Structure 1
Amino acid sequence: MMIMLLVSLVAALLAGIGLVVLGDEPLAAVKVGGAVFVGCFGTCMSAAAYVRRQGS
């Protein structure tokens, strides 16, 4: 669980910083970072639930 959280945070930070480096507005970068965090965390949790079901 902790690794999924860290992977999601790193992906969100990279997306936000990448947008700022490319010249986008900071508020838009924060929004995209939040969206990437939610998407990545949701995907990781779905994958973990699938793997856990396969093991049962």
Structure 2
Amino acid sequence: MVFVAIIGVLLIAWLVIAVLGALLKGLFWLAIVGGILFVATAVYGAIKNKSRT
């Protein structure tokens, strides 16, 4: 259960970083990094969750 909470917090953090990067023109690279980390965390969480069941 703790693992799911950690993944959830990371997903929210990456989403916030991506939105901030998209809103601030000078920080467009932040949106790209946030998006990549969001997808990577979601995939990692899905793989780990699938292997637990």
Q: TM-score, normalised by structure 1?
A: 0.57
Which structure has more relative contact order (CA 8 Å, sep 6+)? It is 1
Structure 1's unaligned 5+ residue stretches are: none
Matches of 2:45 and 2:38, distance apart in 1 = 10
Q: Over the residues paired in the alignment, what is the CA RMSD in angstroms?
A: 2.7
Secondary structure, counterpart of 2:51 in structure 1? helix
% identical aligned pairs? 14
Give a deviation string over 1:2-56, Cα, whole Å, max 9, x none.
844443122x157x38xx7xxxx4110000000000000100010000001xxxx
**What residue number does 2:10 align with?**
7
1:29 is aligned to: 30
Stretches of structure 2 lacking an aligned partner (at least 5 in a row) = none
Query: How many angstroms apart in 2 are the aligned matches of 1:42 and 1:30?
Result: 18
Task: Give the number of the structure whose residues are more often helix, by fraction.
Answer: 2
Q: TM-score, normalised by structure 2?
A: 0.60
Corresponding letter in the other structure for 1:9: I
